[in-house]
Structure 1
Amino acid sequence: MRGAEALIGSLTGAGVDVCFMNPGTSEMHFVQALDDVPEMRGVLTLFEGVATGAADGWARISGRPAAVLLHLGPGLGNGLANLHNARRAGTPLLCVVGAHATDHVRHDAPLQSDITAVAGTVSGWVHTSGHVRDVADDAMRAVAATGERGGQIATLVLPADVSWTEGGAPAPPRTAPAPEPPAPSRVAAAAAAVRAGEATILLGGPALSAAGTDAAARIAAATGARLLVETFPGCWETGAGRPRIDKLGYFAEQAIGQLSGSRTLVLAGARSPVSFFGYPGVPGDLVPDGCDVVGLADPGSDAVAALEALAAEVAGPAVAEVAPHAAPEPAAGPLDVRSLCTAVAATLPERAIVVDESVTAAAALAPALQTAAPHTQLALTGGAIGDGLPVATGAAVAAPDRPVVAVQADGSALYTLQALWTQARERLDVTTVLINNSAYSILRVELARTGAGEAAHSGRAGRMLDLSDPTPDFTSLATGLGVPARRVTTTEDLLDALRWAGAEPGPHLIEAVVPPLG
């Protein structure tokens, strides 16, 4: 048995049965082994950033380690931005990177690079498989490593000769470490904090499951503690019938206002909040002066068990208050960001997965979705734009019985628009609502916020933040990649298009033209 076949057979035996890929010459024996191990589903993407983002989305929804196959160091480099997002999401992800045959490395061929160094920037575990007899066990060690620290990237470098050499054999799965149980001392400290009053609980990571938010809402009902969700949640169960919790604001001034008056900040699966960027005269640490920080559960520990333990300590018979299903349709008229978000919420199917890379529309989308049908939200966890379409692709592969709605900004869509081709090829049930304002609107806002200047619409600076002249035709681009598409400019047309997309199987794109912000 060749090394590649032994590796793939071991992966499927460990429950890793989907691999997103953009392979090259060094990975051809891995690709050929897909015929020998039919239990592994290979999903081709046209760009490595789509493969890594799709693997991230797949793991967030499936709850299992994802796999991605990349070609040498440059292929890894192309996928790095969405690996960064996956790392920030705590995603368990096995990244297999093909390498030159061992004896070929000494020739310093054009594609030779330091794969280990590049992989180390996003990976918690990196290893190069040196012999065919070890490759399957190396893969099992890598899969087990993805479950450490609450979820991380493990990169296995696979030389071509290790793939093609005979002598491999499947290896049994290894048990991933269990999350750390809640520490009684931390539960006691959090209990004292919420009982004292004026406490805020910041929820993140696994705390945003249905069980986690229910326990948090019971604590809030019993103690008056305020609840907030981290700005970019990796996987959040929300909507009607679930606790209504606001997100921590993206802009530092918003977050400072939300946290103002807190005597204690209790962290449940979330990191202590900091400003996304540094701004003149604005603090980078968002914890108010005089506010104590209590770490109930780190992102890598069992945040749900910690919240349930805290609820048992302080909540008694309190019942979580949940949001109603109240998502009315917007009034007829020209589209703007607010009416677009209202339309998405009004038409959202039950059990949908919403992938939010709406960027400037996010401030309107979050409150609109709070009373939409119950759904799962996936956000841009690491801030590296271009993950929306790939994450939606992976989520749809992981949950073919659930509709996926991607609310996608135009500028970031252009980073990974090739994901639409994979959606068409795999016939995935993804509806993309593409917000076309012909600008990097968020950067127009940031131009003023950083003190660099006023929002620019003309001149040389303004041209760097403008996506017109020419304006991308997303309807034509989507159609060219095999995805049916419509362009809309009014709320009534958007509502009609959303129902059209929901009534047909397969992917659809709705290009929603709105005025720019800033």
Structure 2
Amino acid sequence: MNGAESLVNTLADQGVEVCFANPGTSEMHFLAALENPRIRSVLCLFEGVATGAADGWARMKDKPASTLLHLGPGLANGLANIHNAKRAGVGMVNIIGEHAASHLKYDAPLTSDIQGLARPLCHWVRTTDSSESIATDTAAAVAKANEGLVSALILPGDASWGEAGEVPKIAKREPTRRAPPADKVEHIAKVLASGEPTLIIFGGKSMRGRSLDLAGRVAANTGCRIATQFFSVRIERGAGRTPLERIPYAVNQAVAFLSAFKHIVTVETGEPIAFFSYPDKPSVLKPAGCQVHELVAKDEDSILGLEMLAEALGALKTEPVLQARSEQAAPQGTLNPVSIAHALSYAMPENCILVDESLTTGRESMGLTAGARPHDTIQNMGGSIGYGTPVATGAAMACPDRRTFCMVGDGSAMYTIQSLWTQAREGLPVTTIIFANNSYAILKAEYSNMGAGAAPGPRALSMIDIGNPTIDWVAMAKSMGVPAVSVETAEAFTQAMIDSTREAGPVLIEVKL
């Protein structure tokens, strides 16, 4: 068994099921080893698609995927979505090819400092030093990824093709999450029992399953309000589930939302801060005098922490307030953020996945889709665009029995549109919704928010205008094997979404705004 075969077998032994790959010459032995049926290999035509897909897979599976990237430039191409995964606390194992050790001294064109590139955005970085050590290194990389960390294992060519000898069987290390200290929970219980206005903000894995149920019981018992940051890793929401408010994105609105609270309690997240710094606006959004209390740290178990809190409050048997189903009729007429949100609420099937990278058009969708059928929502925690379509690809790969909807602006979609090709190749049930306003619309608003002027001048405007030439999204999708339709009314958009759920594979809907 050579080193590459040892690596693939160890990945499988440690529970990794899929490798999103964009291989090059240095990785040919690893590519050959992927003939192993224990690992599913998925070709991505850009490394940012591979790393984003690994993110989406992990969010839905609660277990890491691996990627295969070609040397330093391949890693560099994938770093934006590695950044997004890191900010979300999503683990992945990045296998990065490297020249054979004996070749590095010649400074060949693709030689680079791969460790130097990886360290700022990967929690764990190691270059394997021999074929014999690959199994141990791989198991360590997966163990870190299982903790919600990003791993980078650099694989020299000679370690890949060299003889690995007898590969050790390494026990799989399951991640452990500890309960928060009892005195911290007791303190939060006293805060909630005081009757002073309190907001609990949820993040990480606390917005689904048992954690979400407990959150609803605590809120019903104490009268506190419960919310999420504007962007969240994954939320189980919709009719029949505990509803969570959403702290607004815009600074003035967020400050107004938080102004009534004397206490903020955090669960797997931090206190609310502005996404950017703006002239004459605060970075910290809570009011003066508002106290922040941590209930569950990011590396602690929210289920255990919330069970302890509910027990301390006598809330375990309290019935939570649940979201009612919205019975609103299908929208008609002009497409705008409100009619789009109503169309989503009407058309999304039960148990679907909604990946949201609609920076401008979709800002109202969360509040207006609260009463939709039960579904999961995934959002971008890191802010680097080109996130939505790759993450939707990975989520659909992880959950092929569920329809995945991906809402993305046309500017963002152009970063990683190669995702469509992988979706077609793999027959993935993804409905990609492109909001085509032919501009980076969010930057028009940010231009004014930043105090750069009331409106962009002609040259500035040309730098955020992508309508010259206009992108033909229907032709783009069809060129990569994805059926597509363009819509201009709320009725047509609603029907296109319903029609897409009847397809086995991917569909693209261009929403002309």
TM-score band w.r.t. shorter chain: over 0.9
Match for residue 71 of structure 1?
A: 70
Output the CA distance in 2 between the equivalents of 1:433 and 1:307: 37
- Residues 488 and 512 in structure 2, CA contact (< 8 A), matched pair in contact too: yes
Does 1:188 find its partner at 2:186?
Answer: yes
1:55 matches 2:43: no
Superposed displacement of residue 290, structure 1: 0.4
- Pair 1:455–1:491, CA change in 2 (3 A): same
- Take 2:331 and 2:479, find their aligned partners in 1: how far apart are those partners? 33
Paired AA for residue 184 in structure 1: A
CA shift, 1:177, in A, is 3.6
Deviation at 1:262, TM superposition (A): 1.1
Q: Deviations over 1:405-430 (max 9, x none)?
A: 11111110000000000000000000
Amino acid at match of 1:165: G
Question: Quick check: 2:63–2:146 contact (8 Å CA) kept in 1?
Answer: no
Taking the aligned partners of 1:315 and 1:346, their CA distance within structure 2 comes to 38
Q: Which amino acid aligns with 2:431?
A: T
Q: Structure 1: which 5+ residue stretches go unaligned?
A: none
Q: Which runs of 4+ in 1 moved over 4 A?
A: none
Aligned to 2:347: 347
Deviation (angstroms), 1:89: 1.0
Aligned-residue Cα RMSD (Å) equals: 1.2
After superposition, give the CA deviation of every residue in 1:407-464 in whole Å (9 maximum; x if it has no partner).
Answer: 11111000000000000000000001111111111100000000001233x6111111
1:157 pairs with 2:192: no
- Rounded to whole Å, the distance in 2 between the matches of 1:173 and 1:118 is 31
> What TM-score comes out, normalization by structure 2 length?
0.97
Indicate yes or no: 2:37 matched with 1:42: no
1:298-317 equivalence runs, <5 A? 298-316=297-315, 317=317
For 1:470, what is the secondary structure of its paired residue? coil
Q: What are the residue-to-residue correspondences of 1:198-213 with 2, within 5 Å?
A: 198-213=197-212
Secondary structure (helix, strand or coil) at the match of 2:360 reads helix
Deviation at 1:135, TM superposition (A): 0.2
Alpha-carbon offset, residue 315 of structure 1: 4.3
Q: Which residue of 2 aligns with 1:237?
A: 236
Partner of 1:280: 279
The one-letter code of the counterpart of 2:186 is A
Q: 2:216 maps to which residue?
A: 217
Query: How far apart, CA to CA, are the structure 1 residues paired with 2:211 and 2:190?
Result: 20
Shift of 1:180: 2.0
- For the residue of structure 2 that corresponds to 1:384, the secondary structure is coil
Shift of 1:304: 2.1
User: Contact between 1:404 and 1:431, CA under 8 Å: does it hold in 2?
Assistant: yes
Distance 1:164 1:218, change over 3 A: same
Task: Please report how far the alpha carbon of residue 292 of structure 1 lies from its aligned counterpart in structure 2 after TM superposition.
Answer: 0.9
CA distance in 2: counterparts of 1:471 and 1:303, whole angstroms:
47
The one-letter code of the counterpart of 1:511 is E
1:326-475, aligned counterparts within 5 Å?
326-456=326-456, 459-475=458-474
The whole-number CA distance in structure 2 between the counterparts of 1:315 and 1:350 is 33
CA distance in 2, matches of 1:392, 1:21: 16
Match of 2:324 in 1: 324
Q: Return the alpha-carbon distance in structure 2 between the equivalents of residues 385 and 329 of structure 1.
A: 33
Do the aligned residues in 2 keep the contact of 1:218 with 1:315 (CA within 8 Å)?
no
Provide the residue aligned with 1:294 in structure 2. 293
Q: Which range moved further: 358-367 or 49-58?
A: 358-367
Distance 1:127 1:176, change over 3 A: farther
Aligned counterpart, 1:172 = 170
**C-alpha displacement of 1:170:** 5.1
Q: Is the 8 A contact 2:331 2:342 kept in 1?
A: no
Q: Is 1:117 paired with 2:116?
A: yes
1:361 Cα deviation (Å)? Answer: 2.1
Mapped partners of 2:219, 2:392: distance in 1:
33
Structure 1 window deviating more from structure 2 (280-289 vs 387-396): it is 280-289
The 2-side partners of 1:96 and 1:186 are apart by: 40
Q: Does the 8 Å contact 2:180/2:297 carry over to 1?
A: no
Superposed displacement of residue 325, structure 1: 1.2
Question: What is the TM-score when the length of structure 1 is the normalising length?
Answer: 0.96
The alpha carbon displacement at 1:279 in A equals: 0.4
1:463 is matched by which residue type in structure 2?
A: S
Distance 1:496 1:331 in 2: 11
Q: Deviations over 1:106-129 (max 9, x none)?
A: 111111111111111111111110
Deviation string, structure 1 residues 445-496 (Cα, Å, up to 9, x no partner): 000000001233x611111111111111111101111100000001111122
Question: Which residue of structure 2 lines up, in the alignment, with residue 226 of structure 1?
Answer: 225
Kept in 1: contact 2:123–2:149 (CA 8 A): yes
Aligned length in residues: 510
Give the Å deviation of 1:327. 4.8
CA distance in 2 between partners of 1:187 and 1:417 (Å): 46
Identity across the alignment (%): 43
Using the TM superposition, give the Cα deviation of residue 181 of structure 1 relative to its aligned residue in structure 2, in angstroms.
1.4
Distance in 2 between residues matched to 1:321 and 1:308, nearest whole Å: 17
- 1:288 is displaced (CA, Å) by 1.7
Q: Which whole-Å deviations, capped at 9, do the CAs of 1:160-193 have from their partners, x for residues lacking one? A: 1101011242542431440121211211111111
8 A contact 1:81–1:384 mirrored in 2:
yes
Deviation string for 1:30-76 (max 9, x for gaps)?
A: 001112x1111000000000000000000000111111110111110
Structure 2: distance between partners of 1:252 and 1:176: 40
Deviation at residue 499 of structure 1 after TM alignment: 1.7
Partners of 1:311 and 1:373 in 2: CA distance: 28
Change (3 A) 1:116 1:312: same
